Structure 1
Amino acid sequence: MRLLLLGATGTTGAPLTEAALRAGHEVTALVRNPGKLPERPGLRTVAGDVRDPRSLATAADKADALISTLGVGASRDPDNLIRDSMRAVIAATEQTGLRRLVIQSAFGVGASYPKSSVMMRLGYHLAPAVFRDKAAGEDQLTNTDLDWTLAYPGVLTNRPRTGHIAAIDLRELDRLPGLPRIARADVADFLLHTATTGTWIRSIAVLTASK
């Protein structure tokens, strides 16, 4: 498949890029600095701004699916990154006809907040603007007729890929206890799988490590 990746140089985006190339997909990465991604067979880098619909439309040309792992890292000020980039993504889909969008978010956003544990909620209060920004962007997406999937991982770790992922539809979840963790590499595998198989359409998948 032809995949457009946003956030390809990030902590989840990097293993996602590796997994997509390893699986033989044609990957386009929209990045601010193409020099951060070494040239690889199957990889095309496009310099641009994820808030700019024209940059996104250029990068998305002929893409079968878009996967976004955009985030602000340790920053507590998202500067409306998700809200603005989602608006640009939706505008780009109108220009290109791209329909399949897979977005990594975070457990605790929107309707998942009441289903989180007290310990997880304490963490959310350290960066409330980040969660508000994600929710604002996702509200735009879920009000379209696009084939979207949102992934809500638990606490992300840098542990090696395990291949053991538990995914549950947010609508079927009563509460997520404790501080469930999952490796970023495993999240990357889920994002790639759902983007290329067409599963979890118009659904929110809560991701944790399976036992």
Structure 2
Amino acid sequence: AMEVKGLISAGKEADVYLALYRDVPIAIKAYRLYRTSHRGGGPIKHDSTGWMAAHEYEMTRQAWKGGCLVPAVARRVENMFSMRYLGDEDGPAPRLHDVRLEDPDAFLDEVLRGVEALAGAGVVHADLSAYNILVHDGKPWFIDFSEAIRVDRTGSVPWVRLEEAKVALDRGMRALRAYFGRYDVEVESDVFVERVVRSLDRFGVLE
């Protein structure tokens, strides 16, 4: 039997809970079935939560299969899925945003290697920031693939998918540049994004 122990984090569209399954801690992400209307009145039913959970589950699984530092997913049921819990007896692994790094240059290198590894696994994180990277065992672990883009199968119009990937990477690099700027560490984002996108362009469509 599974026992929910408490809330780990609350997001705009989903919440993450700590649970025990056969005395082993796991994390459960549940997309909300209803969202609050900005125009007042009662809550509005969210019809796409099952699709959103399925998409994030598959993107995270794809990244994990590629050997990336992401929590291994276990099972999905409708609007929720379970995955490895990143943390210890003191609590969940902190977000990068909430950590004071001792060696920010080295950690940035690991983050960039992680982003390249994700791309190599066929996944571009479309909401990359210090809020969606956890620091666990001294390493950057990537979470929240709800908007991730699959790039190993670019479809019949590959330049569209590659342009989407470039926009997402540019946005993520801006967020990382803002975070690492607090340490006066420079992120050479343009060169990095160009290199990653080139590595994805197997057919030379962006030439």
Superposition TM-score, scaled by structure 2 size:
0.26
- Between structure 1 and structure 2, the one with the greater Rg is 2
Whose RCO is larger (CA < 8 A, sep 6+)?
1
Superposition TM-score, scaled by structure 1 size:
0.25
